[in-house]
Structure 1
Amino acid sequence: MITNAEFHFEGGRDGVLLIHGLTGTPHEMRLLGKGLQRAGFTVYGMQLAGHCGDEADLLATGWRDWYASVERAADELRGRVDRLYVAGLSMGALLSLLLAAQRPGWVSGVGVLGATFRYDGWNMPAVGRLSFLLPWFKRLGIGRGRSFQEEPPYGLRDERIRAQVSGAMLGGDSAAAGLPGNPWHSLADLYTLSTHMRRRLGEVRAPCLVAHATEDDVAHVRNAHLVADRVSGPVELLWLRDSYHMITIDRDRRLLIERLAGFFQRVGDGRAVGDEADAARAA
């Protein structure tokens, strides 16, 4: 049974739509949402279709369903605010970029947080690095009941937060901490989405803040460089050096909140964005 874990924080007339990652939950965006609300934004932490339930709920959906739920949430929020921004974590970053490409008139700026086009971080097993083959497995009906199980450190450098999240996740509370594994067929959809979004990065003209952990255990920094190199709009890069993949709740979360809020505020005020010096200090 799917639990509704969405959140709404009322603020000013600028709104931010927050999108969680594959097998994740809106809770992983909640601290970021609170910080953005304190900075004056109205925030909607949406829930992707098929998430916050069991594996069967997730497998009943695919990337087009996930994107459709993003578009519905964005349309709902834009009816309540004057200006819409979007930010997503991991696969949520890809969906944020897709919304900016598909609906350029809706999106004023994008937070690209730990973008995951491929699972190629330092903690990914060799078999995980072959996940790009999964779309073929799905087409052939292979491996529907199979999953890649999450492994420590679960995207978290902070040991206290890691214990809390892993306890909830392994205890079956998918609404609070997501599923403990990534079903093969859902990963196949992620890779199909990834291929589709790679082709469309040049259509993203909204300003982007691309934030990525330098020691991301799930997605190598080349994922961030891919976005920065291919989108058409101005880009700022933020390298987070004391976190792993889950940058919205890990040790650098306060820095991320500060920089993302400031970025959206500068975009809204019409001030220049894009920091070549920061880009030059790439990981």
Structure 2
Amino acid sequence: MNPRLFSTLRCLQHENPLGLPRTGSIPRMQRGLPERRNIKDVKKVIAVSSAKGGVGKSTIAVNLALAFAKRGLRSGILDTDIFGPSIPTLLNLSGEPRLSSNNQLIPLSNYGVKSMSMGYLVGDEAPVVWRGLMVMKALQQLLHEVDWGGLDILVLDLPPGTGDTQLTITQQIILDGAIIISTPQDIALKDAVKGINMFKKTNIPILGMVQNMSLFICPHCHNSTHIFGSHSGVEKACREHGINFLGNIPLHASICDYADRGKPTVVSEPDSERTKSFITISQRVGDLIGL
């Protein structure tokens, strides 16, 4: 190996992108795939994923975390999107997390859900201009250096795609399962299938798929319209790939509006049909993972 490259890699082994104090050495990565391990003080961990952006994955992830909390579970959400974190906006939270007595990041909480995100550490408008190795180091710190204080379930909000972040999570964390989000649109489903195949290749249980923006009901005439054409595209994909269909989330202006205002549907409209959909999906997921 080139001596200069070797020296650079040696230095990166000791990078600490989040600037956390160190209380001990970090185990070095062995050859081959790293050993999967649990997230400390968390009973169950699920990943919410979509291989395509713009399908409402983060909105669904945060509403599911809130739905678990509404059912009396100790719930948390970890925003693993280093470059485009959404959870601070969705939960109406800001400010730099404090450190615990053992130098772990203390999550920020709202609506009964604990959360951690790169957005708390860099601010609303600051870009994260990092190369891949720095991103992976930061992700490892978010995964293993947060003091969750005991959770029944932690929802991981994954960024779009099937790249470094997704592989790091699937190879380093013991996941109880993954949920795939897609709209009924064919172009979204093609990317969703890539996500399905990624989890299958990494031996992560796929809990099922959620169809977002499935049906639009006009608030004036009350007629229903399938904006994306087929109303059963995700259900068909589930049948083809032998996985569960977890439910539909309708296309409704209030879901987006309340999300942008930092008061998601489960909190802002607790008795609505939309909230009932999130609760039902959370119950199905809970049954599948033994929660």
> TM-score when scaled to structure 2?
0.40
> Whose Rg is larger?
2
Larger RCO (alpha carbons 8 Å, 6+ apart): 2
Higher helix share: 1
